[in-house]
Structure 1
Amino acid sequence: MVDADGTPRDAATSAPQLGDVMSRVARQLQDEHGDVEATLQAITTTAVRVVPNAGECSISYVTGRSRVEPRASSSDWPRELDALQGRIGQGPCLDAVWETEVVRVDDVAADRRWPDFARQASQLGAGSMLCFQLFVTGDQLGAFNLYSRTPGAFDDESQDVGLMLAAHAAVALAGAEHESDLRAGMGSRDVIGQAKGILMERHKLTADQAFGVLTRVSQQLNRKLVDVAGELAHTGAVPGSGPRRD
């Protein structure tokens, strides 16, 4: 292992430096708490900066074994490569999330594990890849993908740093997803509370009776309760009841 000027650098020296880098990364990701998209983008930007030889980075969600949804990327190029794997149903990103957790591709054009992907990805300029499983939530998984246009770009150090970053990123992303869900839930409760208040004031109902009205309308119209409540709070009329009559 050498520094940029060619000076040898042993593991004892590099380990504390890497620890400092990962601490800064963790703080940066925590700063994005509650904003899932910002957290995803921060991960991709950080990866290109700290993982040796990473030219580009992407994060995709994978569902149903083959559906790949690009979510964040350092540029359009890795997003295009992720989408390619979804279209043809094969590639290192899919294997990383469903099979081995880490997949390294030293030479995309010469790899025989995914012939269709290898041919098309190399035509798009992919030289080497390093893919990690980022998280697992039900049947939805996250793929953390590093790309280089040069074959053989990624070594053991790249993989070790990528693993550490993926671990930090998974924790940060889980926290952001949880906080986002909490905020959405609080917003839904506020809307339902407003709708209940309107019904209680207008029709002299109890809180339970007003909630019962919203529930029945939701069932009859086959619409989400929060959507019914939102329309009532916005228009002043119960959905499906016709024009409001004062």
Structure 2
Amino acid sequence: MRSWNKLKTIWNIIKKIFYTGLLFVLINIIILALFIFINPASSAFQNSNNEDYLEKLISMKPYQQKWVSISEISYNAPLAVIASEDQRFFDHWGIDVEQVEKALKENERRKRKRGASTISMQVAKNMFLWNDKNLIRKGVEAYYTVLMETIWSKKRIIEVYLNIAEMGKDLYGIESAARTYFKKSAIKLGAGEAALIASSLPNPKKRNAGRPSGYMQGRKGSITKQMNFIGGKEFIMKELY
């Protein structure tokens, strides 16, 4: 009898864990489905990244961000970030296994570790997660990435990325970056300007696209070459516009 009661208790615990997990997944599916149609007002990364967030919130200007749809963004912007950050963006399902394997091999003999984060992974991290690099966070990031790739189109993923990515100190999104650095809207960005913004990633607080260093100018040249290499305007227009 005691053994039976113990088994029953264990089974009830397993059922509770299962149904709790199922509920968690369903809630996330609903949230991601809503974000197909609703633009997020802010991201977890934005709120956690502002050290003096409360002070800025009181002043009614916590950060600069203006949401624009993909149709209001020059094709040069997605082309530049894809060329710079994730050239297999349209081919993988959120996690680029090939790049992960390469990074693991290279990191065995390098002091400075190379990442293999895709654009989709960056969106998942920025939207939902805390700013950390431990294995638990990475596991949750992978979960959100795969779920997001299942529910959203690639077009929606790159649109959200271009609107929530940090592109300067307290500066988020391609529209704010274009207006701050080049005094123009995102739809008017040229190839070189888009490449300069992309060259500031993933460290836009130290790399200012409005006052580019020699390193950034070099990166700009490399990115513009890669923009042409992956197919240029014809490639990105076919995929997104």
TM-score normalised according to structure 2 size: 0.27
Which is bigger in relative contact order (C-alpha 8 A, separation at least 6)? Answer: 2
Who wins on radius of gyration, i.e. which is larger?
1
> Higher helix share goes to which structure?
2
> Higher strand share goes to which structure?
1
